[in-house]
A and B are shown apart, each in its own frame.
Chain A
């Protein structure tokens, strides 16, 4: 029992990231509201961010800033830099998605996917 718990805890970040990925993807796929889809997409991407950040962190490591004389263990900064880029991309994606939703709302009067489809078929 405790062994299983230990295993779970040792990979806590990974589990959390996986959970976020799954929740996000589920929301994207199942929800019909376009804004909720975007929120789901954000949750999904957050899962990836968490995954990258955990990857670079070393337990007991400090921020990777060189201090003279200190014999410190540094966390790997590269994944964090990478994910910063990914976060920026995510912000851009979100804003573009929202802009599109605004346009859809203006021309269809709704943000529900089903209504949009029904309105086109009518």
Chain B
């Protein structure tokens, strides 16, 4: 797509905002519509558009597969880690209230935020990884 100058410029301008919006959706999840799933997909959209326009090599350079794999695993681990932390804090598995011994509501906020963050990271990494895997094969 080297010849499509407009697309390249617009994409370059747009991608940061896409990612910013994704971040908003991610962090706003416990107050309004939003959350990890949606945010993760929007994150991935940003990456994928970048890869489509500027070429798969540059996307891989920015996000090497090991990093993505680490993202997939790390997100899941964060999710499960919160669950285990609540276990260790004396609640049942994923009982966020137990995360903060003084204020259960605060604990719930913290818990849901971390959980959704884990989900977001995993979803974004998985979607991008799927895209890269397919695109890279086709490219060869």
Answer whether A and B touch in the complex at a CB cut-off of 8 Å: yes
Total residues of chain A contacting the partner, CB 8 A: 9
Task: List B29-52 residues whose CB lies under 8 Å from chain A.
Answer: 32-33, 37
CB distance from A56 to the nearest CB of B (A): 16
Residues of B within 8 A of A98 (CB): 134
For A102, the chain B residues whose CB sits under 8 A away are 134, 137
A30 proximal to B (CB < 8 A): no
Contact partners of B130 in chain A: CB under 8 A: 95
- A84 in contact (CB, < 8 A): yes
**Which chain A residues lie closer than 8 Å to B126 at the CB level?**
92
Tell which of B33, B37, B133, B134 touches A88, judged by Cβ atoms closer than 8 Å: B37
A-side interface mostly: helix
Distance of A21 Cα from B126 Cα, bound (Å): 28
Residue of A nearest to B31 (CB): A65
**Do B37 and A84 have beta carbons less than 8 Å apart?**
yes
Contact residues, A54-100 vs B (CB, 8 A): 63, 65, 84, 88, 92, 95, 98-99
**CB–CB B133/A99 < 8 A:** yes
A residues less than 8 Å from B137 (CB atoms): 102
C-alpha spacing A70/B96, complex, angstroms: 29
Residues of A contacting B37 with CB < 8 Å? Answer: 84, 88
How far is A63 from B37 in the complex, measured between Cα atoms in Å? 18
